[in-house]
Amino acid sequence: MDFSANKNIFIMDHPLIKHKISMIRDENTGTNEFRKLVEEIAMLMGYEALRDLPLEDVEVKTPIETCMTPMIAGKKLAIVPILRAGLGMVGGITALAPTAKIGHIGMYRDPESHQPQEYYCKLPSPIEQRTIVVVDPMLATGGSAVDAISQIKHHGGKHIKFMCIIAAPEGLKKLSETHPDIQIYVGNLDRCLNENAYICPGLGDAGDRIFGTK
């Protein structure tokens, strides 16, 4: 599948991101290192995803003179991790935007049907005016991201970005077709899904690798 014509899909090409993604794929990368790398990748991707944040000129007195100089306008950002694995990306983005509010959406994939099941939703309120960055390291079938974003829209969210570290073409297609109005940032587009709806080559179960569970 070729997504290059879709102006709302951004596939990262920075060598630092590519390098760190290769490190988290490695089955020998342990929990501590994995967690640090996920956070670093999220920060590098966040730098790209937040490049259109609105600025406003404010007055600042330098040691030389007073000037008008741009700063991020207001405190209008919300980060929404999809639990659990999305939690691993939050620190990377708050390192860039420490005043962002943080919401949570709990989703797990049913192991048999692979359908997402929602179990928690708490979003900053009001959400309408905020730029909302939904984060989850993995976009596989796309079911979890599609439902999480539908839920955010249902609560009034309008300016939505989705950020994942690894996507399967199947999930990227589903998400971009179901929510064509959102911007999607992808660290790497992998080959395909396997029969268990895991991404190939992927990195395995992101939640288990971040939290050291099985």
Segment 116 to 145, residues that bind ligand PRP, using CB under 6 A: 116, 136-145
CB of 193 to ligand URA, least distance (A): 8
Segment 125 to 154, residues that bind ligand URA, using CB under 6 A: 138, 140
CB of 199 to ligand URA, least distance (A): 4
Q: What does each C-alpha distance from 48 to 21, 57, 68, 81 come to in angstroms?
A: 16, 22, 25, 18
Is 199 a residue that touches ligand URA (CB under 6 A)?
A: yes
Is 190 a residue that touches ligand PRP (CB under 6 A)?
A: no
CB of 175 to ligand PRP, least distance (A): 8
For ligand PRP, give the closer residue by CB, 78 or 105.
105
Interaction mask 45-84, ligand URA, x per CB under 6 A: ----------------------------------------
